[in-house]
Amino acid sequence: MRKLIKLAIVAFGIRAFLRWRKGRHETAQSTTPPPEPASDPADELRRKLAESRDDDTAVEADAAPAVAVADRRSDVHDQGRATLDEMTASSED
């Protein structure tokens, strides 16, 4: 009698395991999107680069005329000197 019960439990466990595995396999197949056509990563990067260049030219066309680099640099240095003078003046007081 014990052998019959053990056999029934083992058979039930195997059947449950196989049903679980089959259900898991079907779920994985149904949620998997169809494979995309193989694309070359270099082509994708070239496309992104072209888009960013197009965006940059659109921004430059809308922006005001650019100030020369030397002028911007001198403005930044002047601001830095003014800030340094304020800091030294406040520390001397």
* Residue ranges per structural domain of the chain: 1-33, 41-93
According to DSSP, residue 35 is labeled: P
Q: Residue 40 is encoded by which pair of tokens? A: 């070359």
Closest CA to 14 of 6, 2, 24, 26: 6
**pLDDT tens profile 19-31:** 999 887 777 666 6
**pLDDT tens profile 3-57:** 999 999 999 999 999 999 988 777 766 666 666 666 788 888 898 998 888 876 6
Q: Is the per-residue pLDDT at 86 higher than 60? A: yes
How many Å apart are CA 71 and CA 33, to the nearest integer?
55
pTM over 0.85: no
